[in-house]
């Protein structure tokens, strides 16, 4: 099963994903990290994430090629990918391999929990690179949501399940 966990900065999305992974019985958990310590703040965030995870979990540093990093992982067991936002930001030209990632996620037999930033609810970006990042991540989030069996939105530590959009909506007056 693929689960997408969306949320804003400091919303609790990673903790939710980690709790979901810990609750799935039988099998190892592999944590696929996409972030790199580019400054002191990011280093502190990474350290906090590491400190929260059980020692029995394996950590894989994905680097720029997240689909390739998912390929050699064990078919069984749980994988947590944290997070798509840092993967997009680190990629060349803010052009993630959406098709490659979706194919790698679909190819897994075990449960996969994907964490991503929801950037569409914030202030409209004022720079070209900010706009391109929001567009790229928004499109990636939609593609992963399309293949996910479950999508959750985390707001202020609270979890809201999101339903698939319907083709027709009832008219309201």
Separation CA 77–CA 104 (nearest Å): 15
Positions marked catalytic:
49
Closest CA to 101 of 112, 110, 92, 89: 112
Residue with tokens 């997240």: 66
Q: For 93-122, give the secondary structure using H, E and C.
A: HHCCCHHHHHHHHHHCCCCEEEEEECCCCC
Separation CA 74–CA 88 (nearest Å): 24
Q: Which residues lie closer than 8 Å to 49 by C-beta, 6 or more apart?
A: 14, 33, 82
Separation CA 85–CA 11 (nearest Å): 14
């Amino acid at each position: 099963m693929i689960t997408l966990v969306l949320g804003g900065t400091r919303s609790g999305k990673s903790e939710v994903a980690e709790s979901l992974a810990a609750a799935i019985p039988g099998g190892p958990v592999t944590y696929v990290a996409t972030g790199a310590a580019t400054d002191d703040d990011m280093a502190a965030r990474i350290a906090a994430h590491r400190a929260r995870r059980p020692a029995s979990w394996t950590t894989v540093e994905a680097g720029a090629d997240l689909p390739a990093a998912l390929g050699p992982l064990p078919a069984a067991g749980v994988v947590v990918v944290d997070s798509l936002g840092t993967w997009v930001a680190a990629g060349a030209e803010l052009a993630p391999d959406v098709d490659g990632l979706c194919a790698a996620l679909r190819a897994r037999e075990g449960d996969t929990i994907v964490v991503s930033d929801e950037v569409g609810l914030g202030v409209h970006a004022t720079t070209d690179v900010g706009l391109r990042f929001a567009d790229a991540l928004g499109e990636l989030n939609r593609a992963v949501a399309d293949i996910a069996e479950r999508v959750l939105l985390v707001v202020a530590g609270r979890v809201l399940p999101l339903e698939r959009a319907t083709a027709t909506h009832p008219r309201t007056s």
